[in-house]
Every structure is written in C-alpha cells, then in structure tokens.
Amino acid sequence: MESEKEGCERIKISVIPIPEGDMTFVGDVKGNRVGQFVSSEGNKFLNASVGNFAETMADIKSDDNTMKWVGRLIGFIAMFSSFTLMAGPLTSLLSFIPFVGDLGGGLIKVVLGIVAFIITAITILLIKFWYIWLVILLGGIGYGIYKKKYSVQKAGG
C-alpha cells in the first residue's frame, strides 16, 4: 500500500439511509426544503416518518402520549419527594426511638407515597374529564337560578 502523499486529504462521509417506501413530512415548506413549522404560540414542530399521513399522525400521537405519561411520572416523583422532605423533621425525631423509629419512618413514606399517588390520579382524572365538571358546574348554576326564581314566585304568589 502506498504511503500518503503530501497534499492528500482523508475525508469521512457518513450517511443516513433513507428507508424504502413513501415518507410523510410534517413541517413548513421553505423553498426546496422542509423546515420546522412555527405556530403562533412559538412552538416548533418537524417530523418525518415512513408511511402515509395517518400512520405519521398515529406515531406523533404515540410520542405525545409517551411524553404525557413521563411528565405525570415526574410530577408524582416530585410530589412524593416534597412530601418526604416536609415529613423529614418528624422522621428524624422518630429515628431516636429504637425499633419504632425505622418502622415509623418507613410507614410514613409509604403513606405519603399513597397520598401522592391518589392526588396524582385525581388530578389526571380532573384534567381528562374536565367537561364533566363543567357540565356539573353549569347544572348547579342553573339549579341555583331556578330555585331562586321559584322561591321568589312562591313568596310573591
């Protein structure tokens, strides 16, 4: 093999293979390129996937769903951690009591974990079924107006 000569350059090329089949791009067309779509709120979005539009949207929905559950898990962990930190002085005091201290501290953490889980679950349900709470609120307001009108008519008539 010949040794390199002066003035020669080595270059390294890396390519990403394009998959077989049709691809769908979701973004903004800028000239002959597809770039990020920027919404009116300033959110940026660009996606490319193999398949038709419906498959691409299903992939995007799956990604969004995954990120939603990751966010919920992070919220639960943050809530549990904050509850544990708030109960820290109590568990420190319990640690001075032999045998009961460790058991009590562990029991407090289990109870706080259950409380954090219940609060997280209730929050998820309130957000998921917000329209039910809206209907209940509007029904309550309507019932209050009806009762007020009916009581005025009954008192006057």
Residue 72 has pLDDT above 80, yes or no: yes
* Domain boundaries along the sequence of the chain: 18-51, 58-141
**Regarding predicted confidence, which is higher, 141 or 8?**
141
Radius of gyration of the chain (CA): 30
Question: What is the model's pLDDT at position 8?
Answer: 64
Question: What is the model's pLDDT at position 157?
Answer: 57
Which helix (H) or strand (E) element contains residue 60?
Answer: helix 53-86
Burial of 143 (0-12, 13-18, 19+ CB in 10 A): exposed
pTM: 0.61
d(CA 138, CA 25): 43
d(CA 63, CA 67): 6
pLDDT in tens, 80-111: 999 999 998 888 888 888 878 788 888 999 99
Mean pLDDT of all residues in 26-47? 84
